Protein backbone atom coordinates (compact mmCIF):
# COMPACT_ATOMS: atom_id res chain seq x y z
CA UNK A 1 0.00 0.00 0.00
CA UNK A 2 1.22 3.50 -0.79
CA UNK A 3 1.42 6.36 1.64
CA UNK A 4 0.58 9.99 0.99
CA UNK A 5 4.26 10.54 0.19
CA UNK A 6 4.20 7.95 -2.57
CA UNK A 7 6.26 5.53 -0.51
CA UNK A 8 5.04 2.08 0.43
CA UNK A 9 5.43 2.90 4.10
CA UNK A 10 4.44 5.97 6.13
CA UNK A 11 7.79 6.11 7.91
CA UNK A 12 11.16 4.42 8.24
CA UNK A 13 12.59 2.81 11.36
CA UNK A 14 16.36 3.05 11.62
CA UNK A 15 18.62 0.50 13.35
CA UNK A 16 20.42 1.69 16.52
CA UNK A 17 23.25 4.18 15.90
CA UNK A 18 22.49 4.23 12.18
CA UNK A 19 23.44 7.07 9.85
CA UNK A 20 23.08 7.09 6.09
CA UNK A 21 26.44 7.10 4.25
CA UNK A 22 26.90 10.15 2.02
CA UNK A 23 30.69 10.40 2.14
CA UNK A 24 31.31 9.30 -1.47
CA UNK A 25 28.19 10.71 -3.05
CA UNK A 26 28.74 13.61 -5.38
CA UNK A 27 27.02 16.85 -4.49
CA UNK A 28 27.06 18.53 -7.90
CA UNK A 29 26.30 17.35 -11.42
CA UNK A 30 29.05 17.62 -14.00
CA UNK A 31 26.53 18.03 -16.83
CA UNK A 32 23.28 19.89 -16.14
CA UNK A 33 21.64 18.21 -19.15
CA UNK A 34 21.92 14.81 -17.47
CA UNK A 35 19.58 13.18 -14.94
CA UNK A 36 21.38 12.34 -11.68
CA UNK A 37 21.09 8.69 -10.69
CA UNK A 38 22.11 6.54 -7.73
CA UNK A 39 22.58 2.79 -8.21
CA UNK A 40 21.48 0.40 -5.45
CA UNK A 41 22.35 -3.30 -5.46
CA UNK A 42 20.38 -5.31 -2.91
CA UNK A 43 21.72 -8.77 -2.15
CA UNK A 44 23.00 -11.37 0.25
CA UNK A 45 26.67 -10.67 -0.52
CA UNK A 46 27.69 -13.79 1.39
CA UNK A 47 30.45 -13.15 0.50
CA UNK A 48 30.72 -10.17 -1.85
CA UNK A 49 32.59 -11.14 -5.04
CA UNK A 50 34.35 -9.39 -7.89
CA UNK A 51 31.26 -9.97 -10.04
CA UNK A 52 29.18 -7.90 -7.61
CA UNK A 53 31.71 -5.08 -7.94
CA UNK A 54 32.07 -5.58 -11.68
CA UNK A 55 28.32 -5.03 -12.08
CA UNK A 56 28.77 -1.42 -11.00
CA UNK A 57 31.56 -0.90 -13.53
CA UNK A 58 29.48 -2.40 -16.35
CA UNK A 59 26.54 -0.21 -15.36
CA UNK A 60 28.76 2.88 -15.28
CA UNK A 61 30.05 2.17 -18.79
CA UNK A 62 26.54 1.48 -20.08
CA UNK A 63 25.12 4.65 -18.52
CA UNK A 64 27.94 6.80 -19.87
CA UNK A 65 27.60 5.57 -23.45
CA UNK A 66 23.90 4.77 -23.80
CA UNK A 67 21.79 6.99 -21.54
CA UNK A 68 21.16 10.55 -20.41
CA UNK A 69 21.89 9.68 -16.78
CA UNK A 70 24.86 10.73 -14.69
CA UNK A 71 25.86 8.58 -11.72
CA UNK A 72 26.31 10.53 -8.49
CA UNK A 73 26.45 7.58 -6.08
CA UNK A 74 26.39 3.78 -5.82
CA UNK A 75 25.50 1.50 -2.92
CA UNK A 76 25.63 -2.10 -1.78
CA UNK A 77 22.68 -2.91 0.49
CA UNK A 78 23.20 -6.26 2.27
CA UNK A 79 20.00 -8.08 3.14
CA UNK A 80 18.79 -8.62 6.71
CA UNK A 81 19.53 -11.80 8.67
CA UNK A 82 15.77 -12.35 8.48
CA UNK A 83 16.24 -13.27 4.82
CA UNK A 84 16.02 -17.04 4.94
CA UNK A 85 18.72 -18.50 2.75
CA UNK A 86 21.30 -21.28 3.19
CA UNK A 87 24.82 -19.93 3.57
CA UNK A 88 23.70 -16.50 4.75
CA UNK A 89 26.35 -15.35 7.19
CA UNK A 90 25.32 -12.91 9.91
CA UNK A 91 24.92 -9.29 8.89
CA UNK A 92 27.92 -7.99 10.85
CA UNK A 93 30.37 -10.09 8.84
CA UNK A 94 28.63 -9.41 5.53
CA UNK A 95 28.58 -5.65 6.07
CA UNK A 96 32.24 -5.71 7.13
CA UNK A 97 33.20 -7.61 3.98
CA UNK A 98 31.20 -5.22 1.79
CA UNK A 99 32.94 -2.26 3.41
CA UNK A 100 36.33 -3.82 2.72
CA UNK A 101 35.35 -4.42 -0.91
CA UNK A 102 34.06 -0.86 -1.26
CA UNK A 103 37.41 0.45 -0.06
CA UNK A 104 38.99 -1.28 -3.07
CA UNK A 105 36.39 0.07 -5.51
CA UNK A 106 38.17 3.23 -6.56
CA UNK A 107 36.42 5.60 -4.19
CA UNK A 108 32.86 5.72 -5.49
CA UNK A 109 31.06 2.72 -3.97
CA UNK A 110 29.37 2.86 -0.54
CA UNK A 111 27.70 0.37 1.80
CA UNK A 112 24.37 1.13 3.47
CA UNK A 113 23.67 -1.05 6.53
CA UNK A 114 20.06 0.13 7.02
CA UNK A 115 18.57 -3.01 5.54
CA UNK A 116 21.06 -5.40 7.14
CA UNK A 117 20.58 -4.58 10.82
CA UNK A 118 16.84 -4.77 11.22
CA UNK A 119 13.83 -6.92 10.36
CA UNK A 120 13.35 -8.03 6.79
CA UNK A 121 12.44 -5.21 4.41
CA UNK A 122 10.96 -5.63 0.94
CA UNK A 123 12.96 -4.26 -1.98
CA UNK A 124 10.31 -1.62 -2.67
CA UNK A 125 10.74 -0.26 0.87
CA UNK A 126 14.54 -0.32 0.60
CA UNK A 127 14.41 1.81 -2.53
CA UNK A 128 11.99 4.19 -0.82
CA UNK A 129 14.49 4.47 2.04
CA UNK A 130 17.24 5.53 -0.38
CA UNK A 131 14.94 8.00 -2.11
CA UNK A 132 13.95 9.50 1.24
CA UNK A 133 17.52 9.85 2.53
CA UNK A 134 18.94 11.25 -0.70
CA UNK A 135 16.13 13.53 -1.86
CA UNK A 136 14.09 14.45 1.23
CA UNK A 137 16.79 14.53 3.91
CA UNK A 138 19.76 15.62 1.81
CA UNK A 139 17.89 17.58 -0.85
CA UNK A 140 19.26 15.78 -3.89
CA UNK A 141 22.20 17.31 -5.75
CA UNK A 142 23.03 20.69 -7.23
CA UNK A 143 23.44 21.58 -10.88
CA UNK A 144 26.34 23.68 -12.12
CA UNK A 145 24.02 26.69 -11.93
CA UNK A 146 23.22 25.99 -8.26
CA UNK A 147 19.73 24.55 -8.74
CA UNK A 148 18.68 21.68 -6.47
CA UNK A 149 17.65 18.58 -8.39
CA UNK A 150 16.20 15.29 -7.20
CA UNK A 151 18.25 12.16 -7.76
CA UNK A 152 16.72 9.16 -9.43
CA UNK A 153 17.23 5.96 -7.41
CA UNK A 154 17.53 2.81 -9.55
CA UNK A 155 18.04 -0.84 -8.79
CA UNK A 156 21.10 -2.68 -10.11
CA UNK A 157 20.76 -6.44 -10.38
CA UNK A 158 21.76 -9.62 -12.16
CA UNK A 159 19.53 -11.19 -14.76
CA UNK A 160 18.81 -14.20 -12.55
CA UNK A 161 16.48 -11.94 -10.59
CA UNK A 162 14.37 -10.92 -13.55
CA UNK A 163 13.17 -14.45 -13.95
CA UNK A 164 11.63 -14.35 -10.47
CA UNK A 165 9.91 -11.07 -11.29
CA UNK A 166 8.30 -12.60 -14.35
CA UNK A 167 6.92 -15.63 -12.47
CA UNK A 168 3.26 -15.21 -11.47
CA UNK A 169 2.72 -15.31 -7.72
CA UNK A 170 6.31 -14.62 -6.68
CA UNK A 171 6.14 -10.82 -6.58
CA UNK A 172 3.07 -8.72 -5.95
CA UNK A 173 1.92 -6.57 -8.83
CA UNK A 174 2.02 -3.49 -6.57
CA UNK A 175 5.69 -4.08 -5.70
CA UNK A 176 6.60 -4.65 -9.33
CA UNK A 177 4.80 -1.44 -10.27
CA UNK A 178 6.65 0.39 -7.49
CA UNK A 179 10.10 -1.00 -8.29
CA UNK A 180 9.93 -1.09 -12.08
CA UNK A 181 7.47 1.74 -12.61
CA UNK A 182 8.56 4.31 -10.03
CA UNK A 183 12.30 3.60 -9.90
CA UNK A 184 13.54 1.38 -12.72
CA UNK A 185 16.38 -1.13 -12.98
CA UNK A 186 19.65 -1.85 -14.68
CA UNK A 187 19.93 -5.59 -15.34
CA UNK A 188 23.32 -7.16 -15.89
CA UNK A 189 23.42 -10.38 -17.87
CA UNK A 190 24.62 -13.37 -15.87
CA UNK A 191 25.84 -16.67 -17.27
CA UNK A 192 23.02 -19.19 -17.66
CA UNK A 193 20.23 -16.61 -17.40
CA UNK A 194 18.12 -16.05 -20.49
CA UNK A 195 17.14 -12.41 -20.28
CA UNK A 196 14.81 -12.22 -23.28
CA UNK A 197 12.58 -15.07 -22.20
CA UNK A 198 12.50 -13.93 -18.58
CA UNK A 199 11.44 -10.38 -19.40
CA UNK A 200 8.62 -11.02 -21.87
CA UNK A 201 5.94 -10.56 -19.20
CA UNK A 202 7.54 -7.36 -17.90
CA UNK A 203 7.25 -5.43 -21.14
CA UNK A 204 4.83 -2.98 -19.52
CA UNK A 205 7.84 -1.45 -17.74
CA UNK A 206 10.36 -1.80 -20.56
CA UNK A 207 10.94 1.96 -20.64
CA UNK A 208 12.41 1.67 -17.13
CA UNK A 209 14.40 -1.53 -17.65
CA UNK A 210 17.91 -1.29 -19.04
CA UNK A 211 19.65 -4.51 -20.04
CA UNK A 212 23.43 -4.70 -19.92
CA UNK A 213 25.31 -7.47 -21.70
CA UNK A 214 28.50 -8.94 -20.27
CA UNK A 215 31.17 -8.49 -22.91
CA UNK A 216 33.48 -10.71 -20.86
CA UNK A 217 31.53 -13.55 -19.29
CA UNK A 218 31.91 -13.99 -15.54
CA UNK A 219 29.98 -16.69 -13.70
CA UNK A 220 31.54 -16.27 -10.26
CA UNK A 221 28.90 -16.59 -7.55
CA UNK A 222 28.90 -16.48 -3.77
CA UNK A 223 27.50 -20.01 -3.78
CA UNK A 224 30.53 -21.32 -5.69
CA UNK A 225 32.90 -19.37 -3.46
CA UNK A 226 31.36 -20.91 -0.33
CA UNK A 227 31.73 -24.36 -1.88
CA UNK A 228 35.41 -23.72 -2.60
CA UNK A 229 35.96 -22.55 0.97
CA UNK A 230 34.29 -25.63 2.46
CA UNK A 231 36.52 -27.82 0.31
CA UNK A 232 39.65 -25.95 1.34
CA UNK A 233 40.25 -24.49 -2.13
CA UNK A 234 41.69 -21.07 -2.87
CA UNK A 235 39.34 -18.19 -3.65
CA UNK A 236 42.08 -15.66 -4.38
CA UNK A 237 41.27 -13.45 -7.40
CA UNK A 238 37.57 -14.31 -7.10
CA UNK A 239 37.15 -11.81 -4.24
CA UNK A 240 39.11 -8.72 -3.20
CA UNK A 241 42.21 -9.73 -1.21
CA UNK A 242 40.95 -7.80 1.81
CA UNK A 243 37.76 -9.90 1.82
CA UNK A 244 39.72 -13.15 1.45
CA UNK A 245 41.93 -12.10 4.37
CA UNK A 246 38.85 -11.32 6.46
CA UNK A 247 37.29 -14.71 5.72
CA UNK A 248 40.50 -16.52 6.65
CA UNK A 249 41.04 -14.47 9.81
CA UNK A 250 37.53 -15.27 11.07
CA UNK A 251 37.34 -18.84 9.80
CA UNK A 252 34.16 -18.16 7.85
CA UNK A 253 32.22 -20.54 5.58
CA UNK A 254 33.87 -23.68 6.90
CA UNK A 255 30.54 -25.32 7.70
CA UNK A 256 27.56 -24.30 5.58
CA UNK A 257 25.05 -25.85 7.98
CA UNK A 258 26.29 -23.67 10.83
CA UNK A 259 26.15 -20.55 8.68
CA UNK A 260 22.68 -21.42 7.50
CA UNK A 261 21.52 -21.83 11.09
CA UNK A 262 22.44 -18.20 11.69
CA UNK A 263 19.68 -17.16 9.30
CA UNK A 264 16.32 -16.42 10.86
CA UNK A 265 13.35 -18.53 9.95
CA UNK A 266 11.60 -15.73 8.16
CA UNK A 267 12.80 -14.66 4.78
CA UNK A 268 12.14 -14.12 1.18
CA UNK A 269 8.81 -15.88 1.21
CA UNK A 270 7.57 -12.95 3.28
CA UNK A 271 7.70 -10.86 0.17
CA UNK A 272 5.70 -13.40 -1.73
CA UNK A 273 3.08 -13.63 1.01
CA UNK A 274 2.85 -9.87 1.42
CA UNK A 275 2.52 -9.71 -2.33
CA UNK A 276 -0.77 -11.53 -2.12
CA UNK A 277 -2.00 -9.12 0.52
CA UNK A 278 -0.92 -6.05 -1.42
CA UNK A 279 -2.63 -7.00 -4.62
CA UNK A 280 -5.91 -8.56 -5.55
CA UNK A 281 -4.04 -10.54 -8.17
CA UNK A 282 -0.39 -11.54 -8.22
CA UNK A 283 -0.52 -12.42 -11.89
CA UNK A 284 1.75 -10.21 -13.94
CA UNK A 285 -0.09 -8.78 -16.93
CA UNK A 286 0.92 -10.24 -20.23
CA UNK A 287 2.54 -7.96 -22.74
CA UNK A 288 3.89 -8.21 -26.24
CA UNK A 289 7.19 -10.06 -26.48
CA UNK A 290 9.53 -7.21 -25.84
CA UNK A 291 12.10 -7.49 -23.17
CA UNK A 292 12.63 -5.62 -20.01
CA UNK A 293 15.39 -6.52 -17.68
CA UNK A 294 16.49 -8.14 -14.45
CA UNK A 295 17.48 -6.75 -11.16
CA UNK A 296 18.14 -8.00 -7.66
CA UNK A 297 15.23 -7.79 -5.35
CA UNK A 298 14.29 -9.66 -2.27
CA UNK A 299 11.93 -12.35 -3.23
CA UNK A 300 13.77 -15.41 -4.33
CA UNK A 301 16.51 -17.71 -3.26
CA UNK A 302 19.25 -16.12 -5.36
CA UNK A 303 19.24 -12.41 -4.49
CA UNK A 304 22.74 -11.72 -5.78
CA UNK A 305 23.90 -15.11 -4.58
**pLDDT averaged over consecutive 10-residue blocks of the chain (305 residues)?**
75 93 97 98 96 96 97 97 87 98 92 96 96 97 96 93 82 94 92 65 89 88 95 96 97 70 39 41 35 39 50
Question: Phi/psi of residue 231, each to 5°?
Answer: -90, 0
The confidence score (pLDDT) of residue 102 equals 97
Please give the domain boundaries of the chain with CATH numbers for all domains. 35-219 (3.40.50.620)
- What is the C-alpha to C-alpha distance for residues 275 and 267, in angstroms, rounded to an integer? 13
- What is the C-alpha to C-alpha distance for residues 301 and 297, in angstroms, rounded to an integer? 10
The confidence score (pLDDT) of residue 257 equals 55
Rg for the chain (alpha carbons), in Å? 18
The confidence score (pLDDT) of residue 262 equals 46
43: nearest Cα among 194, 190, 257: 190
The confidence score (pLDDT) of residue 45 equals 96
| Residues 146 and 29: beta-carbon distance below 8 Å | no
The confidence score (pLDDT) of residue 232 equals 95
- What is the C-alpha to C-alpha distance for residues 91 and 155, in angstroms, rounded to an integer? 21
The confidence score (pLDDT) of residue 143 equals 97
The confidence score (pLDDT) of residue 286 equals 37
Residue 249 burial (10 A CB sphere; 0-12, 13-18, 19+): exposed
The confidence score (pLDDT) of residue 58 equals 96
Amino acid sequence: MSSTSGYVTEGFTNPPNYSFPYHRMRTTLNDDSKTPVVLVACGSFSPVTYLHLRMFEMARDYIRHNTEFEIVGAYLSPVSDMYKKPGLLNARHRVNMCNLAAEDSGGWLMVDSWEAFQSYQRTAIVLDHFDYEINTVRGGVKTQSGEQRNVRVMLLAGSDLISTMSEPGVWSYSDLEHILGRYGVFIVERAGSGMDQATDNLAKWRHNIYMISQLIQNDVSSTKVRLFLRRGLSVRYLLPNSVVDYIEAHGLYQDESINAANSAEKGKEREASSAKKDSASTTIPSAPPQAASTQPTKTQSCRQC
